[in-house]
Every structure is written in C-alpha cells, then in structure tokens.
Chains A and B, each alone.
Chain A
Amino acid sequence: MLARRANPDSVQTKLSVGDLELDLLTRKVQRAGQDIDLQPREFRLLEYLMKHSGQVVTRTMLLENVWEYHFDPQTNVIDVHISRLRSKIDKNFEEPLLHTIRGAGYSLRAAD
C-alpha cells in the first residue's frame, strides 16, 4: 500500500501513496507524473497525511501537528483546508486518495 522508493540506508526523503509523490528535499509534489502546486501549509498538511497514510487522522491531530495549535477553533477550519487540498490532489484524477471518515477525521490511502 505504501511504497517507499528510498535508499534503505539513507534518510527517507520521498513519500508516496498510490501515484502521489512528495519530495521532502525539492519540496515538489507530483501525481501520475503531473506537477501539483501547493502552498507551504498545504505541503505540510499533505506531508503529515502521507506520513500517516492508511491511518485515521483527526482534526485535532492536524491542528496540533500542522498548525501547532493546541486548541479547537470554533469554526471547522480544517475541513476547508482539507477540501482545498483535495481539489488539488484528487480533482482531476479518477481514484480519490483523501477520504473523509465521518465523525472521526480523514485518511489518505490508495485502493489496494
């Protein structure tokens, strides 16, 4: 499910989920070979989701780790950030990678 094309004895610098790839060094994101342009925060959001791919990530986890906020804003700000990211990585592709888990949070994963 999670394919890591990294040299096993060097620090992992590339993450990938399905055909989505993220390079931590060049800070480039590609899906199916197509460049995807992300804002810095969107990059960090995607990086966190990819590092926890296959798991359910809650809004609180995202707030704490991506924004370093240890409180819940009253309005659901995370949802909107997620839908923005989703429109960049999923919109023009057949298979969705970023899933909403109702009542819990989100999960980034590729179909088996």
Chain B
Amino acid sequence: MTTEAAARGRWQVVWPYAGALAIALVLLAALVAMLGGDASQALAGLVRASLGSGAGLGQTLNKTTPLLLGSLAVILGLRGGVFNIGVDGQIYAGAVAATGAAFLLWTAPKAAVLPVVLLAGLAGGAVWGSLPGVLRARLGVSEIFVTVMLNFVAVFLVEYLSTGPWNDPTAGEAITRAIPPEATLPYLWPRAGAHAGILLALAAAVGVWWLLFRTVFGYELRAAGDNPSAALLGGVPVRRAVGVALVASGGLAGLAGAVEVSGFHYRLILGLSPGYGMMAILIAVLSRRHPVLAVPAAMGFAALLVGTDSLQRSVGLPSSAVFVVQAVVLLVLLAAEGVRRGAP
C-alpha cells in the first residue's frame, strides 16, 4: 500500500464503523422502546454515562485499558499468523500472579511493590502464553486448542484461590482479600475514578507498533505471518518468532489482568474478565491488526460497554436486556466488518 493508499485505507476503516454505530444506536433506541423505555432518554443517558461526564469518561478509560491490552495481545499473535484465543486465560494468570505478588511483598520497600506487581502480572501471562508458544514452536501444535484449554485451567485456578487460600472470609463470596494499598495503581484523574492503567495501555500500543514495524524481530514476525514458507526460505526462524510472539502476547494480556487487580478491583475475583478475550479479538480485527488503530477501536468499544451498562440505571432496563443490546451492537459491528472485507 502506498502512503496515500494507506491513508485512504484508514478512512475506509472508519466509514463503515461510523455507519454501523449509527445503525446500532437506532436499533438500540428501537429496542429500548420495545422494552418499554424512553428511547431518547436512553440514548442521552448512554452518551452521558460513557463520554459526556467526568465519571463516565473515567469508567470508559478504565474499561479501555484491558480491552486495549488484550487486543494488542491478539494483534501480536495475528501478525505472526497465530490466533491467540486464550487472552482470557492469560488475563486471569496475570491477575493471579499480580495478586500473589501483592500478598507476598509486604516486607518489600513500598516504592518497589507496584512495579513488581505489574511485572508479576506480565510474567504470569507470559507463562500462560509460553506453553502454547513452546508447543507451537517445537512441535507445531495448534495454539488454538492449547490456549482454550488453558483458559479453563486459569479460571479453575482463580476459583480455587478466591474460595480457598486467599478467600476473604468476611465477603462470603468468591473473592480474595484486598491487596495492600502500596500495590494499587494511582489515580490518573481521581474525580473521575480513572486509574493510571490507561497510560500503560497506551505505552503498550506504541511499544507494539515499534516492535512490529521498527525492529528486525517485528519484520520477521510479520513475514512469518504473511507467508511462512517464503519467510523460511528467506532465513526467518519462523517457529521461534511465532513462539516468542505468543509469549509476548500472553505477557500483554497478563498485564491487563494485573491492571484490573491493582487499578480496579484491588483483589482477585472470579468475574475479573467479562469476556475481554473475545472482545479483544473483535477489536483486533476491527483495527485491521494495527496497534495504533486499536486505540480508538478499544475506546469506542469501552464507551459502548459502559454506556449500555448504564441503561440499567437510566431507563431501568433489566440486565438481561442490556446484554441483548450489547449483543446487537456487536452483531452490527461484525456485519460492518464483513461488509468492509467483502468490498473490493
């Protein structure tokens, strides 16, 4: 693609989504009306709740963080030709490692705790990504099975820890004790409740861009993903590059888990990831596997999630109806993606 074509390409990405968004909002209004709500009030509330107020924006930013990190993880895999559908498992693995580190580090100097907690999350996710990575690099085993299996393992691990050894006896549900204050992420914008995780995610987006487009490793990874046999004949260690990409991908997802623990929940909980992994795949595809385009895509997605969530409060929709609304929006976006891909 020439640079102008690339620029044109970027606009081509935007238009279908703008259209899809409009359709989604109309559908949403219709749905709300059908369910007995006031459509205009709902839409206004949706915007206010996600972008139109400080608190709403804060929530949107907080939601953007795991979505962006997760989609960067997926993008890194996709660029190397592997499909990491284990982002959820890696988020949980990162959250477990981060929580564990926070509990163990009570003797450490206070300033060191947070960095170590975040790094632990990164490492936890990387470990989760390394199993499919190694199996793929050494034995050529499909990453799809392995990552899905590991999702289950991670969920079981969280269930065990949150109800067993780390359980908070006063809460009476599957959540752990809170992590110490020095292990928590500072607020970026205290009044809006936005934590500093978004800065990490934005830095990661730039970092992934740099890795992919400005390093030899990234070049080789993209070559391996584009045409493995040509890359191989061009001297690219295809399997190793792809294996490393899966590990790094797991690391990014793990960081998302750590941020959720230390910035938002302050503890490990079972429902830590409400399907971020699947949404991350969607965002990765919507942003055409481009780490920088993933930023607006993730943010728009987060705004939709936060906004539709608010419908429960603003027009009193039952939570199941909120899921229906979110599902409809997703379907419209997917259809837009299908239309864009089908177009010449």
A binds B: no
Q: Which residues of A contact B (CB under 8 A)?
A: none
